[in-house]
Structure 1
Amino acid sequence: MVPNLINANPTVYEKKERRARTAPDDGDEYAVEHIDQLEIFDHLRDIKDPEHPYSLEELKVITEDAIEVDDERNYVRVTFTPTVEHCSMATVIGLCLRVKLMRSLPLRYKVDIRVAPGSHATEAAVNKQLNDKERVAAALENPNLVDMVDECLAPSCA
């Protein structure tokens, strides 16, 4: 945890039960994998908050309803809601979401990461930073930032 927390006592919600998913067995090894909202949520739900020992799902930073998928257009939009309007970690959280999807999704997908409208004081600046390829690439050249992202993406021992 980070000292001097902006939201020292966040509200923690119960995790949703995981739903069983079945892959279609069409026997075609070259079939294009179809992605849906639940699959994206499953990739993101266990990301740890950079300041707290809770997942983004437990803090309701990420919800299944805030994910849009257009599989035909290879497009995914994830809208997240920081726990406070002045969250200093909003960009790091968005970067974690982007990196997780970069590592999980086929390369054909364009990913758009957004702060929920009205949920952050610098919403436009955060959105611009999270969706600019050069800024994301520069951020991922910073070893300290990459370590922080990797820590948030590391599987939980619990």
Structure 2
Amino acid sequence: MFLTFLGLFQLFMMSSATNGPSSEADTDSEQTHQCGEAEPGTSRGRDDEEGENLEDVAADIYDLIKDIRDPEKPNTLEELEVVFEEGVKVHPIKGQSDRYIIRVEFKPTVPHCSLATLIGLCIRVKLDRSLPQKQKVDIFITKGTHATENEINKQINDKERIAAAMENPNLKELVEKCVADNDT
């Protein structure tokens, strides 16, 4: 049954990839990074309090994603070291004190992990549900840790592909299991 879910998801993402990325999404992402992101290091240099605030926001975001379950194993992404605290970066958007660009990197357990796209989708869904909509979230596979990282990065940062993937009831059920709170 799991392989059926995975097969459907991969088939969907591959067929979406043939249509190419949404130029609007790519342009939006590029503009935000070029125009809205603070220079690396300047946010902390300007004001120690703001730097501490960004660290707190990054820690809160990590707390949201660390307990996502791996789609294949009973472990969390933190336990498998797929997500890690240093992989969450937060930058202020210039002129907007309550808006951030949030970058999350994750590292699949093996370079040919067939579930990397699904893991990225789970991270995206968890953050989209948990954060205010005014935040810009980018999710990436850590450079050099997956054979098809560029293709997967495009897929998990394309709003149209994410929305279409979540319309698939089997895939949605699998994502819901992974992102469900497991505090009980």
Give the TM-score taking structure 2 as reference length. 0.66
1:106-117 residue pairs with structure 2 within 5 A? 106-117=132-143
Q: Counterpart in 2 of 1:90?
A: 116
Q: Counterpart in 2 of 1:11?
A: none
Correspondence 1:141 to 2:167: yes
Q: Counterpart in 1 of 2:40?
A: none
Find 1:37's aligned residue among 41, 58, 61.
58
Equivalent-residue separation in structure 2 for 1:149 and 1:106 (angstroms): 20
Equivalent-residue separation in structure 1 for 2:2 and 2:176 (angstroms): 16
Equivalent-residue separation in structure 2 for 1:50 and 1:37 (angstroms): 24
Q: Counterpart in 1 of 2:88?
A: 67
Q: Counterpart in 1 of 2:50?
A: none
Correspondence 1:48 to 2:69: yes
Equivalent-residue separation in structure 1 for 2:119 and 2:165 (angstroms): 13
- Following superposition, the deviation at residue 90 of structure 1 comes to 0.3
Find 1:122's aligned residue among 135, 145, 148.
148
Instruction: Among all aligned residue pairs of Structure 1 and Structure 2, give the percentage whose two residues are the same amino acid.
Output: 53
- Following superposition, the deviation at residue 137 of structure 1 comes to 1.0
Paired residue total: 129
RMSD of Structure 2 on Structure 1 (CA): 2.0
Equivalent-residue separation in structure 1 for 2:112 and 2:161 (angstroms): 21
Equivalent-residue separation in structure 2 for 1:155 and 1:62 (angstroms): 17
Give the TM-score taking structure 1 as reference length. 0.76
Structure 1 residue runs of 4 or more that deviate by more than 3 Å after TM superposition: none
| CA displacement 1:36-84 (0-9 Å, x = unmatched) | 1100000001000000000000000000100011144521010000000
- Following superposition, the deviation at residue 153 of structure 1 comes to 0.8
Equivalent-residue separation in structure 2 for 1:45 and 1:115 (angstroms): 15
Equivalent-residue separation in structure 1 for 2:63 and 2:72 (angstroms): 21
Any gaps of 5 or more consecutive residues in structure 1? 4-32
Equivalent-residue separation in structure 2 for 1:107 and 1:74 (angstroms): 11
Is 136-145 or 76-85 further displaced after alignment? 136-145
Q: Counterpart in 1 of 2:78?
A: 57
| 3-state secondary structure, aligned to 2:155 | helix
Find 2:127's aligned residue among 101, 108, 123.
101
- Structure 1 contact 41–64 (Cα < 8 Å) conserved: yes
| 3-state secondary structure, aligned to 2:103 | strand
